[in-house]
Structure 1
Amino acid sequence: METNSVKPRRIIVCLDGTWDTPSERTNVYKFSQALMDGDVVDSQGNLWEQVHTYFTGLGTSQYRMLGGLFGYGISGQIKSAYKYICKRYRDEKDQIWLLGFSRGGDSYAVRSLSGMIYNVGLLPPTELSKVEQAYQLYRDQGTHAKPYGIDSVLFREKNRCQIPSIHFLGCFDTVGALGVPKLPWYLGGPIFYNLFHGLHNFHDTKLTPIVKHAYHAISIHDQRAWFSPTLMRFSDKQDLTQPQKLEQVWFPGMHTDVGGQEVAKYSRNIISYHSFRWMMSKASDLGLVFKKDLLRQISDSSSCKYIFQDSYCSAIIYRIMPRVDRVIEKDINTQSYNPAVQLYNGGDFSSFMTQKDMDRYKSKALIMFYKNAADRKLD
């Protein structure tokens, strides 16, 4: 057991999905509520101090539509989360854990936050007046402002910044180009896209080298053109001496099924239950400590049922664009189509869905994936 007088600290930041607040009871919110705070002992007998914070999603303020549709507010979200970490991080014995859901900020924000930390490091608590300067340096796409560019190096040295590792990065269905939809021209699409995408196209979508473990739960059946998944990919700067763990697993159902937005008042969605359990098991395996009573509730699926949703029909604005099937690409690690690795439970969903349930989805993404896997075996 850890005997040092100063316990190492786990700093956990949870950022919820667009338009999501605690009332939606998403998987990110439930994850944050299940966390033990204060002194904990992990499965290895090590003593930790766990601290966490939860941020509501973009579009939950007075700028609801700008935030929800165009990512307005993501910069403030990233800077607030960055400050929270800076105030609590002490040294390399501490761990940083990030969790996010959805489009716009949220999953994008936690991925961008890891990029900002990689680029400028963590400011000491006494230097938080420099956060805006740090953020602008991160935004700068010139080579001088990259992690090993002269401006970034000088900034870190001058301000005594630390460069930590990100122990855990978990995302539920990161989608869209920062939530900036490409509307048809007759709805002003090019104007909105160029304006808001230009403000945000510096954000990192690749896995920064300082991330140790990354997990991404992805929806198979969502067909909204605005909600195409942004898959995790390794950075070109990956440190081969310290291999990163990356798992991207596809779940049946829609974006909100995987992210866990509750759609029924008296029951939980069984798909959300499984994506939540999967993410929590990954975190638990790495030592994160949860409340035992809530773990028992989570393990009980008796109050869950299959709830069909067709998110394409959930709002008129989505039907402006045609249905678009998602593409389940090759596994990032093996560069092959591998159902056993890429699909939840190896593609066997029969314990919580019937074939009739599966047939209700219009998407052919899963069919095409199995076809690609079969064709590859014949090569």
Structure 2
Amino acid sequence: MASTKDTVNNEQADVYRPTLPTSLNSEATLSVPSVIPPEHDHRTLVLCFDGTGDQFDADNSNIVQLVSLLKKNDRNKQMVYYQSGIGTYTSSKAVAPWWSAFQKTLDEMVAWNLDSHVMGGYEFLMQNYIEGDKICIFGFSRGAYTARSLAGMLHKIGLLPADNLQQIPFAYKMYTRVDHIGWEQSNGFKKAFCSDVTIDFLGVWDTVDSVGIFPKRLPFTTSNGIVRVFRHAISLDERRSKFKTNLWNRPTDQEAQLGVQASSSQLAQPCMSPTTSLNEKEPSTPTSPSLHNPSEKRSNTRSVRGGSEKSGGFRINEIRIGGSTHDKKLDTMEAMYSASARKKLEVPTDIEEVWFAGCHCDVGGGSVSNKTRHSLARIPLRWMVRECFKANTGIMFDSEGLREIGLDPATLYPFVTPRPRPLKIKPEHKVQKPPEVPIPVRLHATLSKKRPAGIHAHHTVHTSPFLGSEEAEELNDALSPAYDQLKLKKGWWILEILPLQLRYQRGNNEWVTRFGSNLARPRFIPKQITHGVKVHRSVKMRMDAEYEDERKKGKRYKPKAHLRVEPIWID
């Protein structure tokens, strides 16, 4: 959503504000510099972590698309680090082929080598960061969790000086420790060896945190005081059990006050015995309402704890294990440890999480061939790029590349201009159905081998110029097919039916573990009544159009996730 802070003043904004959607090949657009911004007063280090199984191929993710847009030929102005997704390589350098293949498969299933991915990004920063650089980190899927974990490690441990390669594994081990001794040692190690750094921009697409055989949250992955701007594009229609959303935790006033009052001296005091219940030290939380009392269910519709399925609660035939002691202890220690970070930052983290139409790969990219002109994933890609300019990150983009994804560089530089109103949906506009033939997608999306690309005949173009406006591109993208893997690949239903230990995020951002069947339960959007819900305006466009599929004739798109309030529509 456009804001007045994005322009210097109304008079200047009027110079650049388009009264009508402008052509991406207009004279004004083509007159902008080949790289925007052409100059800035700092160097930017951009780190990009791809999704599970993702790498450069025939159906690239938004991470690869983003990297392709960046200036990469002058390390004095900008350095770009790209890491292929979890499951594409192993940490071992000399192993038997069968063991390497096994490691890759295990990594793709449960992110077995998450430590290698995080330490790889940390090493890049350690070797290249100099004071005054801006750090910007991006990620998709488990790569988004890797990005958030790296940010967490930088917060808890700090950044080692260059050439301390042998110290990185030790630093990572301390980062992952959440017991009292681990926090105390991390604090001492940071003071002795490391420097404090801040992260200027952390942008992620549809974070997935199902990492490890027995997944546990890593420190500062749901809230991080050294991050200036956090942006998160989230899928409205993903339903798979292993793809539950991982939202950012906005601290309550009480939590923020706890962080301000905490000090490093508190870290030197034992918080509690490992055998002591954390509930004895924390304010008591309300118990879950009865599954059989409708009035109690209605009174707690904002919390996942309730028994109502519509509120993201638990079914009667499921066994609730409860909130994780690990997570509760981590929340307490994070609040105390964050005191110094909050004091250093002039303002709290600028947080914006926006929901988009489509499933996991419709938000993060990778569900269609690279030759496909229009897709749902292009919308959150353009949104993220625009947010980089609105946040004044200084990330340098190739203007021609921006045109290729449907962005007008003249609306981003030298000022970010308010967007025109979206184009209206007409009767002839229909929500397209996926192609009848199998689509080329990855193991984590299909549970099968990838088929050759280039099969989207009626949805592809061949390097034709983008002659329309961004609004026209947005309209066509908003009506593009969604690729629900539960419909396209029935093998995913095995994980939906089998009773599994699953983690869900409550309305208060606390994680709870339960044992049961997911059965394609839609995602839960917490705090809608108290905080609202931000949804991209393209979702409204899609909701206003009827389906092209004859089997759904007369019906319109409705997000799988339940919207209980009128959304805050975001440009």
TM-score range, shorter chain: 0.7 to 0.9
- Greater mean deviation of Cα atoms: 12-21 or 126-135: 126-135
Point out which structure has higher relative CO (alpha carbons under 8 A, 6+ apart).
2
Distance 1:265 1:112 in 2: 29
The equivalent position to 2:144 in structure 1, one of 104, 107, 116, is 107
For structure 1, which runs of at least 5 residues remain unmatched after alignment? 1-5, 41-47, 181-195, 375-379
- 1:266-309: CA deviation from partner (whole Å, max 9, x where unpaired): 31343111110000111122232100110111124399661232
After TM superposition, the structure 1 = structure 2 runs for residues 205-354 of structure 1, keeping only pairs within 5 Å, are 205-234=221-250, 236=255, 237=335, 239=342, 241-264=346-369, 266-285=371-390, 286=392, 287-299=394-406, 300=466, 301=473, 306-320=480-494, 321=496, 322-330=519-527, 335-338=530-533, 342-345=534-537, 347-350=539-542, 354=545
Quote how far apart the aligned CAs of 1:21 are: 0.9
Looking at structure 2, the residues matched to 201 and 253 of structure 1 have their Cα atoms a distance apart, in angstroms, of: 26
CA contact (8 A) 1:262 1:269 kept: no
Whether the aligned pair in 2 keeps the contact of 1:123 and 1:162 (CA below 8 Å) is: yes
Deviation at 1:354, TM superposition (A): 2.3
Aligned match of 2:202: 169
Aligned partners of 1:26 and 1:261 also within 8 Å = yes
Letter in 1 for 2:222: K
CA positional deviation for 1:353: 7.5
CA distance in 1, matches of 2:209, 2:74: 38
In 2, Cα distance between equivalents of 1:176 and 1:96 = 22
- What is the root-mean-square deviation in Å for CA atoms of aligned residues? 2.8
CA–CA distance in structure 1, aligned partners of residues 217 and 224 of structure 2: 16
Distance 1:277 1:55 in 2: 21
C-alpha distance in 2 between matches for 1:131 and 1:231: 28
Equivalent-residue separation in structure 2 for 1:56 and 1:312 (angstroms): 25
What letter is aligned with 1:75?
A: D
CA distances 1:249-279 after superposition (whole Å, capped 9, x unpaired): 0001110000011424631343111110000
* Kept in 1: contact 2:152–2:220 (CA 8 A): yes
Aligned to 1:88, which of 118, 128, 139? 128
Given candidates 68, 75, 87, the residue that maps to 1:59 is: 87
Residue 75 of structure 1 corresponds to which residue in structure 2? 115
In the alignment, the residues of structure 2 paired with residue 27 and residue 251 of structure 1 have an alpha-carbon distance, to the nearest angstrom, of 14
The match for 1:355 among 546, 560, 563 is: 546
**Are the aligned partners of 2:362 and 2:376 in contact in 1 as well (CA < 8 Å)?**
yes
The one-character-per-residue Cα deviations of 1:71-103 (angstroms, maximum 9, x if unpaired) are 111110000100001111111x11111000013
Deviation at 1:203, TM superposition (A): 5.0
Shift of 1:140: 1.1
Q: Determine which structure has more spread, i.e. the larger CA radius of gyration.
A: 2
Q: State the distance in 1 between where 2:219 and 2:348 align.
A: 23
Q: Which amino acid aligns with 1:319?
A: W
Higher helix share: 1
Q: How many angstroms apart in 2 are the aligned matches of 1:202 and 1:278?
A: 28
SS of the aligned residue for 1:168 comes to: strand
Contact 1:17 1:102 in 2 (8 A): yes
Contact 1:83 1:128 in 2 (8 A): yes
Q: What are the Cα deviations for residues 205-264 of structure 1, in whole angstroms up to 9, with x where unaligned?
A: 312110110000000011112111111113553627521100000001110000011424
Change beyond 3 A, Cα 1:176–1:155: closer
Q: Structure 2: give runs of 5+ residues left out of the alignment.
A: 1-39, 90-100, 256-334, 407-465, 467-472, 497-518, 567-571
Q: Any idea what the Cα deviations from partners look like across 1:133-155, whole Å, max 9, x if unmatched? A: 10111011123333xx3x12321
Identity of aligned residues (%): 27
Residue 94 and residue 335 in structure 1: after superposition, are their counterparts in 2 closer, same or farther (change >3 A)?
Answer: farther
* Equivalent position SS for 2:145: helix
Residues 187-206 of structure 1 mapped to structure 2, 5 A cutoff: 196-197=213-214, 200-206=216-222
CA distance in 2, matches of 1:129, 1:336: 45
Q: What is aligned with 1:49? A: 77
Greater alpha carbon shift after TM alignment, 264-273 vs 319-328: 264-273
With structure 2 as the length reference, what TM-score do the two structures score? Answer: 0.53
1:140 equivalent to 2:177? Answer yes
- Cα distance change, pair 32–346 in 1 and its aligned pair in 2 (3 A): closer
Match of residue 45 from structure 2: 11
Contact 1:218 1:248 in 2 (8 A): yes
Q: 3-state DSSP class of the match of 1:169?
A: strand
CA deviations 1:163-198 (Å, max 9, x no partner) are: 1001110110012433x5xxxxxxxxxxxxxxx225
- Of residues 192, 195, 206, the one that matches 1:158 is 192
Contact 1:214 1:245 in 2 (8 A): yes
Distance 1:88 1:246, change over 3 A: same
- The residue number in structure 1 matching 2:136 is 97
Q: How does 1:19-58 map to 2 (within 5 A)?
A: 19-23=53-57, 24-39=59-74, 49-58=77-86
